[in-house]
Structure 1
Amino acid sequence: MPTKGGSKHGMSALVRLGTGPLSRGSRAICLGVALLVTGSGLLRAQTPPSSDTAPAASPTKPGQVKLSIEIVYFSREERPVEYLSLAEPVLTDAGLRGVEQGIRDDQTTGRFLGHAYAMSTIKVPANGDIAAAFKAALDKGQRFFVADLKKDDLLTIAPLADAAGAIVFNARAPDDDLRTDICHISVFHTALSYAQKADALAQYLVWKRWTRWFLLVGSHPEDKAFGTALRRSATKFGINIVEDRTYEDTGGARRTDTGAVQVQRQMPIVTQNAATHDVVVVADESEVFGDYVPYRTWDPRPVVGTSGLVPTAWSRVTEQWGGTQMQRRFEKTAGRPMNERDYDAWVATRALGEAVTRTGSADPATLHAYLASDKLEVGAFKGQGLSFRAWDQQIREPILLVTSRTLVSVSPQDEFLHQRSTLDTMGFDEPESRCRLNGPG
C-alpha cells in the first residue's frame, strides 16, 4: 500500500533533473534543493505572505533578544504505567522529554529572530492542590502551559486559564466530551481523542473489508470510554459488531509464571462461541489484558485496537516524511525512543513556537488567534502541516496504524472524503460537536 500524505514522486522528483550524469555544480544544486525538505514536505519559504497574514519576524543579530517565551510543563505526580511486557520500559519522563525537544527545535529558529525560549516544570504532588499550584504560576506571569494531566485535573485548571487569558495545551487527556461538551477557550488539544483513534482504525478495517467485529472491552473507565468510541465508529462507517464482551479485571500478578499460564487458558474461553467475525477489536487502555489476546483467541483472527494493530499519533517505528531524523534527534538527548505522549507534548511546544515565529509576538491573545486560524501549519513529520479545528481546538493530523515493529497504514484512508479536510473524517466533526469556541470552521 503506498505511503500517503506526501508527493507521489518524493525525493526522486527532486534529483531526476536530467538523464545523464550530474556535474559537480548540478550535484550542489540538487543538494541545496534537498535540504529544503522537512517533516511536513517542501518548505514554503519562497512564498511571500498574503496581505492578511502577519509577516514572520525579521532576522536579527544572534544574541539580541526581542521576545522571551517561557513554556511551563505542568503535571501531577503519579504512578508510572507498567506495561504487560517487560520489553517496554517503565518511564517517569514521558511527555517531559517531548517539551524539552520542542524547546530545542523552537530555539533553532528563534535564535535568528531574537526569540528566546525557556522551559520550567511544575509537578504537583499526588495529593496536592492543583488549582493552587496553577494559580501560583499565573500570579508569576506564566501564560503558556503544556498540561500532561488527566481529565479531572485539566478541568480544574481550565477555568482559571480562561479567566487569565492563558493558553493550555492538553497533551494527555483523550476524553471525547472535552471536544464535544466541556470546551474551554484556553485549551488546545494536541492529544488525539478516543473518537479520532477509533475512526482512524475503523476506516482501515472498512478498506480491508473486515466489517464484522468482535469487540472485547476492559472493565476500567478508560477502557469503557474507548469502547464507546469504537461503537460510535462502527455505527458511523456501517460496521457490524457481532459480539460485544467485557473482560473483567480480577487483579493478580500479571507477570508471574502462573499468571501467564492462567491467561493462556483464559483467553480461548473468553473469546469462544462468538458469532462469525473478521477481527477482534480490543479496548484495554489500562494495560490489563490486551497484549495477551493475539494468538490466544478461540478463532484464528487478527487483533486490533489497543493491541495488535494500534492507532497512534506517533511510534518509534515510523520513518516516513523525515521521521527518522526526528527519532534520532530525540534519542540522542532522551536516551530512548519517542512515544506518543512525548510527541503530543512536542507538537504543543512546536505549535506555540510556530505561532510566535509567524506573528512576531508573545502576546497570548495574538498567539491564540493565530493558533485557531487556518493560517497555522505545524511541520510535524506527517507529510502535511497540522492545524487546530476552530470549533473545539482539537489538532488535525494523520493517524498512524502500527504494530510493534512496523507502520502498516496511515489514516484517513483515500476513500473517505470531506468538504473541508479529510482529516476531519476522524473524530467529531463540527456538526457533531456543541463547541463553537472560535465560530464555524
Structure 2
Amino acid sequence: MRILSAIALGAASLLSGAAGAETIRIDVIDRQVVPPPILSNLIAAPDDLGLAGAALGLADIRTTGGFMGDDYQLTQTRVAPEAPFLAAMQALLAEGARLLVVKAPAEDLLALADLPEAADAVIFNIAVDHDALRGADCRANLLHTTPSLAMRADALAQFALKKRWTTIALLEGPNPEDAAFAEAIRRAAVKFGLTIAGARAWAFDADMRRVASEEIPAFTQDLPDHDLLFVADERGDFGRYIPYNSWVPRPVAGSEGIMALGFSGVVENWGAAQLQGRFRDLAGREMRATDFAAWAALASIGEVVTRTRDADPAAMRAFLLSDRFRLSGFLGTPLSFRDWDGQLRQPVPLVTDRAVVMTAPLEGFLHEFSELDTLGQDRPDTACTQFGENG
C-alpha cells in the first residue's frame, strides 16, 4: 500500500528540455523496515528521517527556482514493511517518476535500479553505506549522497594517524553491518599504515546496563596494548558501554566515541549553523546524516537545473558526473560526484555527541586530483564497472 503526499503542486511527469516555467518531478521514497531487536533501550530514529531533509532541500531549490521560472513537485511515497516494494516503484515509474531519492535497504535499491523501467532514471541512495554498492554491485543509474563505509573508516584512520595513535584494537559486534564496518576498518588500517594489535568479537547477549562496569573490564583485559579502541557496533547494542569501562583507559572511535558521520547536529562551521537552524525550524529536531544526504540529493538536482536549464534525466546524470558540477554543501569545500562509482565526494566530520573534533580529509593527506578522494575507494581501486571510463 502506497501513501502519497504531494508537498508541492505541479504536473504529474518530469518534463525535459529547456527549463522555462517548468515543473520538475522529484520522488522521495521511504521503504519502511521493522527495526532489529537491540539489547538496550535507544531513542528511536525519527519517523521523518530523510524525509525532513528532502523537505528542506525542496524549500531551498524552490527559492532559486522561483527566480528562474522553475517549479519542483516533491511526491513522498512510504512503502510499509509488508508491502511489495517493486510494485510500488513500478507504479511510480509508470506515472513518469525519473528522479528518485530513496531510503531503502540495499536489496531493494538494487532491485529498483535493475527494473527495465528505471534504466533511464536517476536514483539517489541516501541511507545505505555498503561498499559493494559502490563496487562490484554498483549500478549506472544509482548515485550515493551518503558516505560509504570505506569513507567513514578512512576518515577515522586519518584521524588516528594524525594523532599518532598508530596501534589500534577492535571490538566487533555480531551483526552483518558490524562485520562490514569492521572489515572497512581493517582495510583502512592497511591503507594508512595502522597496526591492529588485537581484535575481539562481542560475546554477550544480555543487557549491559547493570553489569557493564563488571563485564567490560574483564572482556577487554586481554587486548594487547593499543592507542585507540575501535568499536564496530552499528546498531548501538553495546558500544555505549565501552568508554570508561575498558581495562585500560583509551579513547574510543568507530560506532561510539569519535564517530565519522556524513553530517551531525554539531556541525556549525562554513554556514552549517544556518542550515541547521532552518532544519530545526522545519523538523523540530537536529539534522542527521540521512537528512543531509536527502538535502544534498535535492540540492544537486536544483543545481543541475539552474546551471544547465535541462531537466532530462540523462543530461542531468551526465552533468552530475562531470567536472563542471559542484555543490556548496556547508562542509568547507565543494561537493561533487565520482564518475567511476557515483559516490558523492564530501568531507566527513569526526564528531562526538557534543562537538566536531576534526573534519576529514585532514591536512597532510594529499591526492593527485582531489584530497576528498583519499576517503573511500579511489579510481584505481574501484571494482565498479558500470560507469565506464568517463561515467
What TM-score does the superposition give when structure 2 sets the normalisation length?
A: 0.91
In 2 relative to 1, CA 421–328 (structure 1 residues): closer, same or farther, beyond 3 Å? same
Match of residue 225 from structure 1: 180
Give the SS at the match of 1:152: helix
Partners of 1:425 and 1:162 in 2: CA distance: 36
Please, which of 228, 253, 262 is the counterpart of residue 279 of structure 1?
228
Match of residue 123 from structure 2: 168
Is structure 2 residue 322 aligned with structure 1 residue 367? no
Partners of 1:249 and 1:136 in 2: CA distance: 45
Q: List gaps (5 residues or longer) in structure 1.
A: 1-56, 59-64
How far the C-alpha of 1:340 sits from its partner, in A, is 0.7
Match of residue 160 from structure 2: 205
Partners of 2:342 and 2:240 in 1: CA distance: 33
Match of residue 324 from structure 1: 273
Match of residue 214 from structure 1: 169
Which structure: larger Rg? Answer: 1
Give the SS at the match of 1:107: helix
Say if 2:54 and 2:294, in contact at 8 Å, map to a contact too.
Answer: yes
1:181-230 superposed Cα distances (whole Å, 9 cap, x missing partner): 11111111111100000000100100101011110010100000000000
Is structure 2 residue 384 aligned with structure 1 residue 435? yes
Match of residue 398 from structure 1: 347
Say if 2:79 and 2:88, in contact at 8 Å, map to a contact too.
Answer: yes
Match of residue 5 from structure 2: none
How far the C-alpha of 1:164 sits from its partner, in A, is 3.4
Is structure 2 residue 54 aligned with structure 1 residue 96? no
In 2 relative to 1, CA 324–81 (structure 1 residues): closer, same or farther, beyond 3 Å? farther
In 2 relative to 1, CA 411–417 (structure 1 residues): closer, same or farther, beyond 3 Å? same
Is structure 2 residue 91 aligned with structure 1 residue 119? no
Give the SS at the match of 1:321: coil
How far the C-alpha of 1:249 sits from its partner, in A, is 5.2
1:253-286 superposed Cα distances (whole Å, 9 cap, x missing partner): x4xxxx4112222211211121110011011111
Give the SS at the match of 2:114: helix
Say if 2:98 and 2:118, in contact at 8 Å, map to a contact too.
Answer: no
Please, which of 374, 378, 387 is the counterpart of residue 336 of structure 2?
387
Partners of 1:195 and 1:408 in 2: CA distance: 19
Give the SS at the match of 2:209: helix
Write the letter of the residue equivalent to 2:286: P
Say if 1:372 and 1:438, in contact at 8 Å, map to a contact too.
Answer: no
Partners of 2:71 and 2:37 in 1: CA distance: 37
Q: How high is the sequence identity, in percent, across the aligned residues?
A: 41
Please, which of 250, 275, 285 is the counterpart of residue 301 of structure 1?
250
| Mean CA deviation greater in 218-227 or 80-89 | 80-89
How far the C-alpha of 1:172 sits from its partner, in A, is 0.8
Partners of 2:269 and 2:187 in 1: CA distance: 30
Partners of 2:81 and 2:363 in 1: CA distance: 45
Say if 1:67 and 1:361, in contact at 8 Å, map to a contact too.
Answer: no
Say if 2:40 and 2:237, in contact at 8 Å, map to a contact too.
Answer: no
What TM-score does the superposition give when structure 1 sets the normalisation length?
A: 0.81
**CA root-mean-square deviation:** 1.9
Partners of 1:152 and 1:240 in 2: CA distance: 34
Give the SS at the match of 1:345: helix
Match of residue 104 from structure 2: 149
Please, which of 16, 24, 29 is the counterpart of residue 74 of structure 1?
29
How far the C-alpha of 1:80 sits from its partner, in A, is 5.2
Write the letter of the residue equivalent to 1:377: R
Q: How many residues align?
A: 373
Please, which of 169, 190, 215 is the counterpart of residue 235 of structure 1?
190
Say if 2:31 and 2:105, in contact at 8 Å, map to a contact too.
Answer: no
How far the C-alpha of 1:170 sits from its partner, in A, is 0.5
How far the C-alpha of 1:426 sits from its partner, in A, is 0.7
Say if 2:32 and 2:104, in contact at 8 Å, map to a contact too.
Answer: no
Partners of 2:123 and 2:314 in 1: CA distance: 13
Partners of 2:38 and 2:268 in 1: CA distance: 24
Write the letter of the residue equivalent to 2:291: D
Please, which of 74, 92, 115 is the counterpart of residue 137 of structure 1?
92
Write the letter of the residue equivalent to 2:162: W
How far the C-alpha of 1:169 sits from its partner, in A, is 0.2
Q: List gaps (5 residues or longer) in structure 2.
A: 1-17
Partners of 2:106 and 2:65 in 1: CA distance: 33
In 2 relative to 1, CA 160–342 (structure 1 residues): closer, same or farther, beyond 3 Å? same
Match of residue 4 from structure 2: none
Give the SS at the match of 2:78: strand
Match of residue 62 from structure 1: none
How far the C-alpha of 1:79 sits from its partner, in A, is 3.4
Match of residue 291 from structure 2: 342
Write the letter of the residue equivalent to 1:223: D
How far the C-alpha of 1:90 sits from its partner, in A, is 3.9
